[in-house]
Chains A and B, each alone.
Chain A
Amino acid sequence: MQRDYSGVITKIDSIAAKVYADLEKAEIPALQLSTRTKANIRFDDDLNVWKYGKNKTERAANSLDGAYMLLRTMYLVDFIKDMIKEKKSSTLRETYYISEGWNLAKFSSQNESDLLAEDLEVITGCMREDFKLRPEEDGARVIGNLVVEEMTRNNTKKKIHCQDDVGDSGYGIPYNVEKEKLSFKEVDADFIVAIETGGMFDRLVENGFDTDSRAILVHLKGQPARSTRRFIKRLNEEKKLPVLVFTDCDPWSFRIFGSVAYGAIKTAHISEYLATPAAQYLGVTPSDIENYKLPTDTLTTEDVAALKSELEDPRFQDQFWKHEIKLQLNLGKKSEQQALAKYGLDYVTDTYLPEKLSEMGMIKK
């Protein structure tokens, strides 16, 4: 299936046209884009996710940074146009290395080129996939009673059962999970559990939680990649499966939940593609620390700052989060998923998860 890229090219050209027009009018060339900060995200009632607000940032050539950004933008869009023409794609890391030949426009770190790719998305409303740019292999994993059909690189469709056709490491989510690449076939499960750490994912697999509790287990691998988030969203919407997020108990894990359920601040321009508004937070909650008497570590100053920042974060303003965050600040403690092993290796699957799931109405006692 050949994609039509003419719309992307028009949008890319419009960037060049804006800069060119500025120069012709003897005006300082500038591009405008939404400000990508916590202060500039608003809840979109129609889409049910958090999107950028009205604040705009201008990247203008009257500062050195702005001039560099514009020059790099020109090089990057020209490069993307070439890739579209030649039917190639590149990883973000390759793009960074390609810039070695761009003289003054050379990126000084990959972080810069990644950010610029996101800026381009924000300016054009396109997705990075439209630009033929892809991330490194992220290898997030899935195990559960689910059949996916993937378009292989030989252009043949292949069905994969995510329990029977895979080993212990599960099915690896590809970087492209759009319909032309991947579709969901039969599913026989009650809910999805998205898990932060590999250790806990493997524990649930070893204990057979996917079969015993009819769950689809997804490993988030820390802050989840776009494709992982998109995969969860599509599974939630297309197969009507509830999503439960199971993480460590610290401010950084709460942010992982935020990016799954509400949309991340960095990618708020595509929240509607990535976020799953129906996702629920399972644990470990600060209340769990008290209720289950979990082993803890003391909050660092960074942790405390992050928690306080979350109290200001528009995404965390509901009763549940305000209460839990304040509780954690009072406790001054944090805990890990795997701290549950205090009560034995089966405790998480035999006691903790069933109790939490029934509390949330996912299973009956």
Chain B
Amino acid sequence: MPEAIAYELAKKQKEISVAEFFERNKHILGFGNPTRALITSVKEGVDNALDACEESGILPDIYVELKNQNEEECIVIVEDNGPGIIKQQIPHVFARLLYGSRFHAVRQSRGQQGIGISAVVLYGQLTTGKHAKIISKIQADQPAVLVELAIDTNKNRGEVQHQEIMHWEKPSGTRIEVCLKADYKRGKRFVYEYLQSTSIVNPHARLIFKEADGTEHVFERTADILPKKSEEIKPHPYGVELGTLIKMSKETKARKLASFLKNEFSSMGDRTANAVCDEAHLDRNLNPADMSREQFLELYQAFKRVKIMTPPTECLSPIGETLIRRSLKNETQEISPEFIFTASRPASVYSGNPFQVEVGIVYGGNLPKDKAVKILRFANRIPLLFQQGDCAVTTAIASIDWRRYGLDQPSGTGIPIGPAIFLTHVASTQIPYTSESKEAIADIEEIENEIKLAFREVARKVQMHINKKVRRVKTREKFDLITKILPEIAKKSAHMLNKPVPSLEKVITRIMDVVWIEDVVEYEKVRGKPVQTKLNITAGKEPAESGGWIAKSQIMIVNYKGKPQKFNLYALFPKNAVVGEVKPKPTKVTESYIKWSLESIDPTDKIDLFFELAGLNKGDFDENDLYVQNINPTYVIGADKWEGE
């Protein structure tokens, strides 16, 4: 009797080593070609460095250096001032795939899978046969440790090849040096772009990039405050898979189904937990450890049928409109854009995962007018450099009719053409990437919608700004000309009739027929005081004490109407600013606006308003946002209708 075929086959079946898995999937992991490999390596190093610094409350100072060994090989060095890694953990962190602290956590973070940096070490080893060098220092009064690592690809374990104690200037930090097969010439530009983009969405980080020829680029820090720490939350029932559900039931300490649901999931109160049990026709007192697969399936399906509150969103850490604006302003200095607008959506949820969208538009300046707008995509503060066409961000932008907002867009869909940069940041506990290389966000309807809404909001701001500007320019032109033409008409007619030239003030007023509001914002550095760095100051404090930059806003109102005008004026200011002196006395000051109930202004009369803001960086606020109430807004140039708070 011949041997069963299965035995034959069994001879060929064996465990696939990590190295083989990597080799077969390197394109998915971002190492598809020598150019991509270089960028991915830098990216993994920097992402790790940023996460490490932020988790330990340190403002990141990150140094990236590339050394071009020869045509084929390149050394990548990434150094940070983070907390360092204890000696015993170094082989696990840097030389073991699928090992990490964040894999099971539901929270917003850069890395998620735990493949990242070990994949870089592995790739280096596979392509050059050289070992990675790690330096780590965990305390100022301890020496640093240098470790040379290799990966045992059969066991998926790191092996220490060499180890020594050394002196390192830094109080603490980590440095990784990997030699790998890479295309330095082509990859260099992308590394620069990646670091520049990273700097935009990480205004609290200072990044230095040293090229192989010694050229150094510094991306300065623009905010001296760490982003709000993202908090870990429990999984939401809508986002959990059946397998995970079963696994959770094995790990829980709860002995009853209802309390299992309440303790291990977010958004589950007594009432919802009971409702789910009833819907699944399961006893609330059932011990989760005794439940069958079929019962879990019932439970899993019941989740979808019961209305469960959305998960808490405070776990997210968005960048914030002021900081996005500030970074964009800082990074686009050479372009000298005409304006920068940002919009931030409230947090939302897809399949039980909280997410939040923030966008910004940089417009004008030296940007090319006849090219498609530049799209900058970010997910959890990581720049997405490739696969733009497959990304939900691109789909959302392309589906908006930008012609309505003054950009070119043949046929009304697709990426618009015009002098603009579009920034999108999606923050989430779980970014739905299209693949493991984390380059594009998948087309999730909820996310796409939020991106669309955010862009519509910011586009409206752009449009309002342009309309306001056009109207002001037109009125000013008219004003200038009328004040030149009218005296000429008067002179000529008086001359023909041999009469004195009549006075024109009132006629000019009647012709203008508007209330003219003009404003200017200036910054004054308060001398001898430290630069204010904290943004989250509550309103009402004395600005003189906080020092730093003081924004001084002057508003002039002239009544060019035929009748006296009496109305209310609102001046908006950024939420994190502190109001100082206000003249004349305002009717109301809240944390976002100042309100004046103005005295009646007679025709041709002028009044001046003034206010100071502290707690801002220079340029955070360079245009007043003014609104009027109790007056027909079409009479007013320089302010819009107050629509309420």
Contact = CB atoms under 8 A, between A and B. Distances in A.
Given A68-B485, A104-B484, A20 B495 contact: no
B478 interface: yes
B489 A62 contact: no
Contacts of B486: 61, 67
B511 A20 contact: no
Contact of B492 (A17, A22, A78): A78
Interface string B466-496: 0000000000011001101110111011111
B496 A28 contact: no
A28 B508 CA distance: 8
B502 A71 contact: no
A105 B484 CA distance: 11
A26 B507 contact: yes
A13 B496 contact: yes
B488 A71 contact: yes
B482, B493, B494, B497, most chain A CB atoms within 10 A: B493
A19 B494 CA distance: 9
Contacts of B489: 19, 23, 29, 61, 67, 70-71, 74
Contact of B502 (A23, A28, A81): A23
A16 B507 contact: no
A158 B511 CA distance: 57
Contacts of B490: 20, 23
A77 B496 CA distance: 9
Given A67-B481, A67-B482, A71-B488, A27 B493 contact: no
Nearest to B495: A78
A61 B511 contact: yes
B14 interface: no
Contacts of A27: 507, 510
Interface residues of B, number: 24
Contact of B507 (A13, A17, A23, A75): A23
B481, B492, B502, B510, most chain A CB atoms within 10 A: B492
B321 interface: no
Contacts of B492: 16, 71, 74-75, 78
A98 to B, nearest CB: 15
A269 B510 CA distance: 33
Contacts of A81: 496
B499 interface: yes
B513 interface: yes
Contacts of A26: 506-507, 510
Contacts of B484: 104
B507 A29 contact: yes
Contacts of B482: 61, 64, 67
B274 to A, nearest CB: 73
A78 B478 CA distance: 25
Given A67-B485, A68-B485, A19 B493 contact: yes
Contacts of B497: 13, 16-17, 20
B537 interface: no
B507 A20 contact: no
Contacts of A67: 481-482, 485-486, 489, 511
B504 A23 contact: yes
B485, B490, B506, most chain A CB atoms within 10 A: B485
A24 interface: yes
A78 to B, nearest CB: 6
Interface string B521-546: 00000000000000000000000000
A71 B485 contact: yes
A338 B511 CA distance: 57
Interface string A28-63: 110000000000000000000000000000000110
Interface string A164-204: 00000000000000000000000000000000000000000
Interface of A: 13, 16-17, 19-20, 22-24, 26-29, 61-62, 64, 67-68, 70-71, 74-75, 77-78, 81, 103-105
Closest 6 CB pairs of A and B: A74-B492, A26-B506, A16-B496, A20-B493, A16-B493, A23-B502
